[in-house]
Structure 1
Amino acid sequence: MNRAFWKEAVVYQIYPRSFQDSNGDGIGDLRGIISRLDYLQKLGVDVVWLSPVYKSPNDDNGYDISDYQDIMDEFGTLADWEELLAGMHERGIKLMMDLVINHSSDEHAWFVESRSSKDNPYRDYYIWRPGGPNGELPNNWSSIFSGPAWEYDEKTDEYYLHLFSRKQPDLNWENPKLREELYKMMAFWLDKGVDGLRMDVINMISKVEGLPSVTHEGLAPGDLAGGGEYYMNGPRVHEFLQEMNREVLSKYDVMTVGETPGASVEDAILYTDEDRKELQMVFQFEHMDVDAGPTGKWEVTPWNLTKLRDILHKWQVGLAERGWNSLYLNNHDQPRMVSRFGNDGKYRVLSAKMLATLLHTLKGTPYIYQGEEIGMTNVKFPALEDYKDIEILNMYREKVTEGGADHDVILNAIHVKGRDNARTPMQWNAGENAGFTTGTPWLKVNPNYTDINTEQALADPDSVFYYYQQLIALRKKHLIMVYGDYELLLPENEYVYAYSRTLKNEKWLVLLNFSDVPQEVELPEELAAVNGVIVGNYGGEQPAEERGTLRPYEAVVYSLKS
């Protein structure tokens, strides 16, 4: 058993813009976070992952960085950030910063120089290509945020690559000087005391040489296609990460997690096998596509437990011996988990606790997204104007305004899958604007804040908050939750996810009912010898004769007799 802090930790993600506003401008900020540190300490989390707080024109809410070594004016100052770090460290909480190095903002000084002339020393910091003889794009890749992945720049009569927004030009990792600059910047933050780095779309930094167009049957000239096969998990990505580890990460006691869309179990092993010296964990997205249709996430498709369990099981088994799992069901880019995988109506509290039990009893490091710990839900804004996310607005323009799709169908998809579901302000109390701001919030508050808020949760001993607190405390007490072997049980059951965790002579049984009706569970005899309940979302012990029936959305963890 190779023990490590990052395996035993529980991480809490803060999306600063939506967490707590301290000055009434409607935008969350660093001083707002400082004012809530005692709340995080009470919850018991070990690490805070802070979404980007660097200087940015905010085309993509801070993921478009114009200065990597300064703080966004709306969020505060470097002195505020230093006070935040000190406040976390005083409370025994580590800080993980977001590292966005696949692309920068087009307002970054490097890009301003790069676009000024073809022979500028910074030209090669980005990916420039001439168009075709008749003005065709350099290739047919589409941007992840809709439209082509290329933007024409009149001044030098060339196109630059942007896998995301046109204001997020991709950095050219083939250039060793650029890599050196990025490593210096990483050291700047690590020298200030940062404890961890979450690396945004880090598996996209290496593109296939020549940037070839996508070719497949049925693709007409001028059609755009994804292109992911040419920039996800690219040819030099492992070489670059090993170099980063050698030049920077190995010199610090630092926790790392890489965001890796499109990564398979085999890819994840390469990224996270400790002997390879790249990353400690990755965020994979296979389970986040469980309700996506053939055309992608906006084609809302029903999911079922069998499909979700198969994916989670595959990753549990796949990374059991080498590598490590990150455990999450929502973040700033995903809808709220209780609305997506639970029941945000009658069984909101029970299903939120059931999903929390899943995340904290699988093998891996759990990530909590702000508001998850009080069971915050998706929002259904009736008007498109209420949404702010660039991905939503670009998609709507492409599908409805330009493509003629049905407004109601697309608005429903936004209600179900839109990123703004996760970005509505944190619900602190039942007062004006949920206690988030005294001004006008940058994004409207979810109207259900009068019923769902931290003040109410902290006053109710049976709340989702205290259940999370209990799970986090159990993880600190029982190494089996971190290092125990995972084994799937009842693989044919369509509504119950059952598994065991085993460490030496200790064995736990986890039973999770993903439905709103009671479920009968038949367990092998050796799993029926129950020692007692470790934790359960209905509270208390069930009579032995009722143990075979799980109530709606019930979660229960038993200690078994060895």
Structure 2
Amino acid sequence: MSKLAWWQRGVIYQVYPRSFQDKNGDGIGDLAGITARLEYLATLGVDAVWISPVYPSPMVDFGYDVADYCAIAPVFGTLGDFDRLVAHAHELGLKVLLDFVPNHSSDKHPWFTESRSSRDNAKRDWYLWRDPAPDGGPPNNWLSRMGGSAWEWDALTGQYYYHAFLREQPDLNWRNADVRKEMDDVLRFWLDRGVDGFRVDVLWLLIKDALFRDNPPNPEFKAGEPDHHRQLQTYTEDQPEVHDIVRSMRATLDEYGERVLVGEIYLPVPQLVSYYGPNGDGANMPFNFQLIGAPWNAAEIARIVSDYDHALPLHAWPNWVLGNHDNPRVATRIGARQARVAAMLLLTLRGTPTLYYGDEIGMTNGVIPPDRVQDPAELRQPGIGQGRDPERTPMQWDGSPKAGFSSGVPWLPVSGGDSVNVIDQDRATSSMLTFYKRLLALRRSEPALVEGAIERVMAGANVLTYERHVGSERLFVALNMAGTDASIEIPQGTVVLSAMEGHEGKQIAGTTLLLAGDEGVVIRVSPES
């Protein structure tokens, strides 16, 4: 495994900073809180912490509206707090990834203030400005991902500006060389402070059609979907020129040694894998989100795993994700018992896994009363299920009313739930947290689970099976993705991990095994099998 980079050997853990740990009692998580919990992450067995945005921001979209790319929002702390976090993480052997938000800034960013001050300002072309259509309306039909037109009228200069998200988040013009230079300097600012890589927000959206052509209608649009799904995003995403930007970012990171560039990209696999670059000079890992929205059955997961593995270029390293700050939690999507099976899947597939905070204790979506809704996606498009607050509720450290998250009033309600907290689960041998620790320890100790190939991916009776092997070492994985027992064919060997307590060490001598409902096993295959 020494030939692999740290990000290929390791496991990434995403922290949503507002919700992880509040140190100063204002009800909002902060950098000092994350620092105080780094020992927990090291003990859990992960290798890197990815921190969602902590830049100065009006917080219209909770940090994804950046007002200064080279500073820390006071609500999260100071640059000194950030430096202490990085230093302590490195002392513990943890890497630190920072969220980078290059597609758009806040409308309060000094760059945009200058850009909108006059048509002849030097920074006018740093954003996307267009004259009205002949009827005085928006320049074209492009829609915002937060609802309504993506064009906002500016009376002062008599033009519209483009925003893929909220009107308070104007899109930067990545065709402008000065913008590229400035953003490269931002990367270097944080790399110089010791960060080990970046997760790049909406990487596939950075370039828009140079001719600003109308998007065509989406013939498969269904009522109740987000408004922008009415159109095919033909001219507003995945433009050919975006790959030049990705290569440039990667080149900057490569100057600093073993750093990692992870891209947020929601695209079908054939387009997704192009972001690795034709020569492996693109993103180290374009995020693979297929497990988040997949129908939870063995046949479909087997197809996804096989198709993805076959689609990867030879130079590409795979990755898998079960959840994040934009999607319902896995335990809510498939239930608590299958969440264990999903954890086994995530941590035994070929490639780098990314965990979302709280999934290791089985946190479910929180219930957010209407008067406590914070997410602008829900506030501006009520009733379409776009609200992301339920998966962003405070981390549950203990069983107290505030879950050990804060001494103040948490910014979102604590989700609650019997024993769904770190303290209680750390004491229980059968808990989800204990299971995650065993899974992570197994992955760390077994080269086949890190560098090994994946073969014989099959599905039958709603049981997913596959093998991981390197050299003469073979591991057989069987995951029952239903609640009913199933008999499966297996090789001879020894159970090294089971989703059910007490099965480890069991010798498998026969050719079949009755796998209980919601059970998963990892078997070390005997050499003679």
Give the Cα–Cα distance (whole angstroms) in 2 for the partners of residues 202 and 143 of structure 1. 16
Match of 1:384 in 2: 370
Q: Tell me, yes or no, if structure 1 residue 34 matches structure 2 residue 38.
A: no
Q: Work out which of the residue numbers 500, 523, 526 in structure 2 matches 1:558.
A: 523
1:282 aligned to which of 286, 297, 308: 286
Q: Match of 1:321, as an amino acid?
A: L
Distance in 2 (alpha carbons) for counterparts of 1:80 and 1:74: 12
What letter matches 2:366 in structure 1? V
What are the superposed Cα offsets for residues 412-440 of structure 1, whole Å, 9 maximum, x if unpaired? x64xx742222010001111311111111
| Partner SS, residue 461 of structure 1 | coil
Aligned pairs for 1:12-161 (under 5 A) are: 12-161=13-162
Alignment of 1:261-410 (within 5 A): 261-262=266-267, 264-272=268-276, 275-290=279-294, 304-319=297-312, 321-341=314-334, 343=335, 348=336, 350-381=337-368, 383-396=369-382, 410=383
| Residues 401, 414 of structure 2: 8 Å contact kept | no
* AA partner of residue 363 (structure 1): R
Letter in 2 for 1:226: Q
Please give the secondary structure, in 1, of the residue aligned with 2:183.
helix
Taking the aligned partners of 2:492 and 2:100, their CA distance within structure 1 comes to: 48
Partner residue in 2 for 1:253 = 258
Pairing 1:458–2:426 present:
yes
- 1:519 paired to 2:486: yes
Give the Cα separation in 2 of the matches to 1:195 and 1:102: 21
User: What does residue 534 of structure 1 align with?
Assistant: 496
8 Å contact kept, 2:289–2:321? no
d(CA) in 1 for partners of 2:185, 2:93: 27
CA–CA distance in 1 between the matches of 2:119 and 2:461? Answer: 60
Percent of pairs with identical residues = 39
Find the counterpart in structure 1 of residue 224 from structure 2: none
Q: In the aligned structure 2, how far is the partner of 1:192 from the partner of 1:274?
A: 31
**What is the CA distance between 1:320 and its match in structure 2?**
6.8
Q: Specify which of 456, 475, 485 is matched with residue 443 of structure 2.
A: 475
Structure with more helix by fraction: 1
| Counterpart residue number, 2:513 | 548
Instruction: Give the deviation of 1:213 after TM superposition.
Output: 0.4
1:184 maps to 185
Counterpart secondary structure, 1:124:
helix
Preserved CA contact (<8 Å) 1:274 1:323: no
User: What corresponds to 1:442 in structure 2?
Assistant: 411
Indicate conservation of the 8 Å contact 1:335/1:418, yes or no.
Answer: no
Displacement after TM superposition at 1:248 (Å) = 4.7
Pairwise CA distance, 1:503: 1.4
Secondary structure in 2 aligned to 1:462? coil
Give, in angstroms, the shift of residue 502 of structure 1. Answer: 1.9
Amino acid at match of 1:500: E
Task: Provide structure 2 residue ranges, at least 5 long, that are not aligned to the other structure.
Answer: 221-226
Question: C-alpha displacement at 1:324, in angstroms?
Answer: 1.9
**Superposed CA offset, 1:155-181 (max 9, x none):** 111111111111111110000111000
- The CA distance in 1 between the partners of 2:471 and 2:121, in whole Å, is 62
Alignment check: 8 A CA contact 1:140 1:214 kept: yes
Question: Whole-Å Cα distance in 1 between the matches of residues 237 and 165 of structure 2?
Answer: 13
3-state SS of 1:55 partner: coil
What is aligned with 1:401? none
Structure 2 SS opposite 1:393: helix
- Aligned residue for 1:117, secondary structure, equals coil
- C-alpha deviation, 1:273, in angstroms: 5.0
Write the distance in 1 (CA, Å) between the matches of 2:124 and 2:328: 38
- 1:328-385 Cα deviation digits (max 9, x unpaired): 11011111111113x2xxxx2x43321111001001101111101111112233x322
Structure 2 counterpart SS, 1:74: coil
Q: CA deviation at 1:186?
A: 0.6
Distance 1:376 1:391, change over 3 A: same
Amino acid aligned to 2:274: L
Letter in 1 for 2:379: L
Q: 1:218 to 1:257 in 2, by over 3 A?
A: closer
Answer yes or no: is the 8 Å Cα contact 2:492–2:511 preserved in 1.
no
Give the unaligned 5+ runs of structure 1.
292-302, 397-409
Given that 2:279 and 2:315 are in contact with CA atoms closer than 8 Å, whether structure 1 keeps it comes out as no
Deviation of 1:288 (Å): 3.3
Measured in 2, the distance between the counterparts of 1:319 and 1:478 equals: 23
Residue 164 of structure 2 is matched in structure 1 by 163
For 1:10 and 1:489, the matched residues in 2 are separated by 23
Match of 2:69, SS state, is strand
Aligned 8 A contact 1:375 1:452 in 2: yes
Residue 217 of structure 1, CA deviation: 8.3
**Matched-pair contact (CA < 8 Å) for 2:118–2:124:** yes
Q: Distance in 1 between matches of 2:438 and 2:187?
A: 35
Deviation at 1:490, TM superposition (A): 3.2
What amino acid is the match of 2:481? Answer: F
Correspondence for 1:400 = none
Name the CA shift for 1:218/1:99 in 2 (closer, same or farther; >3 Å): closer
Query: Distance in 2 between the 1:79 and 1:169 partners?
Result: 29
Cα pair 1:359 1:366 within 8 Å, conserved: yes
Q: What is the aligned counterpart of 2:242 among 221, 237, 241?
A: 237
Query: SS where residue 499 of structure 1 aligns?
Result: strand
Q: What secondary structure sits across from 2:381 in the alignment? A: helix
Kindly indicate whether the alpha-carbon contact (under 8 Å) linking 1:142 and 1:227 is maintained by their aligned counterparts in 2: no
CA RMSD of aligned residues (A): 2.2
SS in 2 for 1:70: coil
Cα distance in 1, alignment partners of residues 303 and 237 from structure 2 = 23
- Counting matched residue pairs gives 516
Q: CA deviation at 1:546?
A: 10
Q: Secondary structure at the match of 2:83?
A: helix
| SS across alignment from 2:75 | helix
Q: Residues 488, 64 of structure 1: CA spacing in aligned structure 2 closer, same or farther, 3 A cutoff?
A: farther
| Secondary structure, counterpart of 2:99 in structure 1 | strand
Contact 2:45 2:441 in 1 (8 A): yes
